[in-house]
Amino acid sequence: MTMDKKKVIQNTIRYVKKTLEESEGGHDWFHINRVYKNALLIAKNEKVDLFVVQIGALLHDIADSKFYDGNESIGPEKARAFLKSQEVDEEIITHIENIILFISYKSSFDSSKHFSSPELNIIQDADRLDAIGAIGVARCFNYGGFKNRKLYDPEITPNLKMNKEEYKKSNAPSINHFYEKLLLLKDKMNTKTGKKLAKKRHLFMEKFLKNFFDEWNGLM
């Protein structure tokens, strides 16, 4: 029996909305939907399996490890269980598992483990776009508030040489996150469209930080 891809996508949307209805504001359904739309935009200019891009984008944060004591297997496991229930082909399920496992920024710290595909490249760019620009600034401080972190502390300088475990356990002020991750994303984009979109959002963050520090120092 041929899989009804349209129906699977509709069921996935319902599943993700229900699963993430109580999630932190930067990792909720609205984040998923923005990444989904970003991924579709980027995919227009790439030769990819659009179904994998759609399902991967919808499930990429179905169980973010940062909310599960660092358990990086729970996301792929939840995605597999759901996709099995939808009778999705095993090859596609495995691909989605790998996308979820390797999409995050922290995966770049571990060079011994690697997976790549054009579909991952698109979803990763789409996810990173949502981490920068105006939305990225909002998400950064929303998560910082969720974790009760300081806005900024001049005595705590950004750590630009963190390993994966240090990154995962960091409780640094929200402003530090710009230097430890967000400002680095522009140069880590995979696709031509992703790089183009990231430039504008990067400039917004630079302007925001200038204003932040001018206001912090009483200059404006």
Cα separation, 7 vs 37, whole angstroms: 18
* pLDDT score of 110: 63
What is the rounded average pLDDT of the residues 27-51? 96
By CB atoms closer than 10 A (0-12, 13-18, 19+), residue 86 is: middle
Cα angle 140, 149, 162 (rounded to 5 degrees) comes to 75
Report the alpha-carbon distance of residue 113 to residue 75 in Å, rounded: 17
Q: Average the pLDDT over 43-67 and give the result.
A: 90
Nearest 5°: the CA angle 7, 9, 10 is 65
Largest pairwise CA distance in the chain: 67
Please state, rounded to an integer, the average pLDDT across all residues of the chain. 92
pLDDT band at 40 (very low <50, low <70, confident <90, very high): very high
Tell me the C-alpha distance between 107 and 52, whole Å: 20
Check whether 34 has a pLDDT greater than 70: yes
Work out the average pLDDT over 19-30: 90
Domain ranges of the chain: 5-216
Going by C-beta distance under 8 Å and a sequence separation of 6 or more, which residues neighbour residue 187? none
- Name the one residue in this structure whose structure tokens are 């979109």: 197
Q: How far is CA 18 from CA 24, 53, 124, 174, in A?
A: 14, 21, 23, 29
Is 60 exceeded by the pLDDT of residue 1? no
Higher pLDDT, 140 or 63: 140
Tens-place pLDDT, residues 196-214: 999 999 999 999 999 999 9
| 71 band by pLDDT with thresholds 50, 70 and 90 | low
Q: Which DSSP category does 132 fall into? A: S
Query: What pLDDT is stored for residue 133 in this prediction?
Result: 98
Question: What backbone torsions phi and psi does residue 210 show, to the nearest 5 degrees?
Answer: -60, -45
Question: How confident is the model at residue 41, as a pLDDT?
Answer: 97
Rounded distance between C-alpha atoms, residue 63 and residue 59, angstroms? 8
Tell which residue, 86, 59, 76, has the closest CA to residue 3. 86
Query: What stretches of the chain show up as alpha helix (H) in DSSP?
Result: 5-19, 29-43, 50-59, 74-85, 90-102, 118-129, 133-146, 164-169, 174-180, 192-216
- Which fold is adopted by the domain 5-216? Hypothetical protein af1432 (1.10.3210)
| pLDDT for position 23 | 86
CA atoms of 115 and 207, how far apart (whole Å) = 35
Write down the pLDDT at residue 114: 79
The pLDDT tens digits of the residues spanning 152-182 come to 999 999 998 888 788 878 899 999 999 999 9
Q: How large is the angle between the packed helices 90-102 and 50-59, nearest 10 degrees?
A: 50
Amino acid at 142: N
